[in-house]
Structure 1
Amino acid sequence: MDVYYSPLACSLASRIALYEAGAEARFHRVDTKAGRTAEGEDYRAVNPKGLVPAIRTPDGEVLTENAAVLQYIADAYPEAGLAPQGFERYRLQQWLNFISSELHKFVFTPLLSPKFDDAAKAVAREAGAERFAHLDAHLAGREWILDRFSVADAYLAAVLNWAQAVRFDLDEYPAVIAYRDRLRARPAVARALGEEFAEYRLAA
């Protein structure tokens, strides 16, 4: 499997999921602004949207969009138990969509991007307070988003990592902070974060 990523972007979730599964993959770093991989490949020939993550499966199929990529990885390595079956699979999709649309895109994209003005960032922070309150209530008394660690936790690990960068204060959400600390202590998450932080610092 080929995995196209940018350090500390949401593609971090794919790395976490693969490490959780104990799986091998070829990782290709992408400069999304230049539209090229570190090997010089035209990334838009892989993913015309120019965004990460993307994966190329062993059969040569290219898959994009984080929620789809993560579920593919989970299904490719079922012994890792990263995605439930039956009705709980819909719960997983529910949370993948919440993380993607309500946190990643609605809150953190405006806060991380210089293309958004101060008014848009203020709206994002206000929205973030409501959404993190919902997440905090869900996580109170729970170890993970579902009954066990899943690809939704891998995605949320990537997204929560951005809070410090944009100075989004999580102190009002003790269950989220405790959850974040559990994530960081998990070997696959710690390994993935450590590797991508090192790459990010080298590129800065």
Structure 2
Amino acid sequence: MKLYYAPGACSLASRISLHEAEVPVEFERVDLKSKVTEFGEEYSQLNPKGYVPMLVLEDGKAITENIAILLLIADRQPPFEPGNPLGRIRLVEMLSYLATELHPAFKPLWHGAHDIEKAAAREAVTSRLELVAEQIRELYLFGPRFTVADAYLFVMLRWAKAFGAWMPVELLAYFERVAERPAVRQSLAEEGLRGDLHSPFFGSHTSAQETAM
């Protein structure tokens, strides 16, 4: 397998999840401004959508969209919430909320909006995070088991902290717990992101930061 990624972007959730699932995988960085990979490939020819992540499977077939990739990884792990017929549906429900409500709320913060728009975006992020905080059960979103949804949420909590969006105390403690997981620490190190988890900016790959949304 190969994951095409940009440092600090939402593709970080896929990297974390692949490591958590112990799936052997290669990684290839994409410059989202030039649309060229670190090995000189034209990324738009590989993925006409032009953004990350993209996961290429062992047979050469490619999967795009974060939710699709995260669900594929989840399906390679033990069944989610055995005995609960709505277990996997709840996982899809949370991933959908993160992808369609929380993730897009950051857009003005990524793209140089006016201060008023940025303030409104921070408020929108906070209101969505408050709803997510209500879902925290025990250690993670679905109790004691870490899931692909936790990986995705962790990435957006990094964004929230970097952009100065307020978040509930429950999510601050949650962020610290997730950050200590070996797969998370490994993933951050591999992408060259800062190790200071109390100030989790995106590292030195500015081109990826500016165009990750």
> Residues 111, 57 of structure 1: CA spacing in aligned structure 2 closer, same or farther, 3 A cutoff?
same
Q: Deviations 1:136-159 (Å, cap 9, x if unpaired)?
A: 2222x5211113211000111111
- Look up the match of 2:149: 152
In structure 2, give the amino acid aligned to 1:194.
Answer: A
Any gaps of 5 or more consecutive residues in structure 1?
none
In structure 1, give the amino acid aligned to 2:173.
Answer: A
1:42-121 equivalent positions in 2, closer than 5 A: 42-75=42-75, 77-79=76-78, 83-84=80-81, 86-106=85-105, 108-114=106-112, 116-121=113-118
Counting matched residue pairs gives: 196
Two-structure CA RMSD over aligned residues (Å): 1.9
User: How far apart, CA to CA, are the structure 2 residues paired with 1:93 and 1:30?
Assistant: 27
Q: Deviations 1:57-103 (Å, cap 9, x if unpaired)?
A: 1121111110111111222x224x6x456411110011101111221
TM-score by length of 2: 0.85
8 Å contact kept, 1:53–1:66:
yes
Q: Measure how far apart 1:164 and its partner are.
A: 2.4
Q: Deviations 1:3-59 (Å, cap 9, x if unpaired)?
A: 000001000011101110112111010001101100011101121111100011112
Any gaps of 5 or more consecutive residues in structure 2?
195-201, 207-213
User: How far apart, CA to CA, are the structure 2 residues paired with 1:178 and 1:198?
Assistant: 20
Q: Measure how far apart 1:122 and its partner are.
A: 2.5
User: How far apart, CA to CA, are the structure 2 residues paired with 1:96 and 1:125?
Assistant: 21
1:173-192 equivalent positions in 2, closer than 5 A: 173-192=168-187
User: How far apart, CA to CA, are the structure 1 residues paired with 2:179 and 2:120?
Assistant: 29
Q: Measure how far apart 1:119 and its partner are.
A: 3.2
Q: Deviations 1:112-151 (Å, cap 9, x if unpaired)?
A: 222x333332321222222122122222x52111132110
Q: Measure how far apart 1:188 and its partner are.
A: 0.7
Q: Measure how far apart 1:162 and its partner are.
A: 0.9
Q: Measure how far apart 1:191 and its partner are.
A: 1.2
Q: Identity of counterpart residues, as a percentage?
A: 41
TM-score by length of 1: 0.88
- Look up the match of 1:164: 161
The farther-off stretch of 122-131 and 61-70 is 122-131
In structure 2, give the amino acid aligned to 1:100.
Answer: A
- Look up the match of 1:142: 138
User: How far apart, CA to CA, are the structure 2 residues paired with 1:94 and 1:122?
Assistant: 28
- Name the structure where helix makes up a greater proportion of residues: 1
User: How far apart, CA to CA, are the structure 2 residues paired with 1:151 and 1:61?
Assistant: 21
In structure 2, give the amino acid aligned to 1:112.
Answer: W
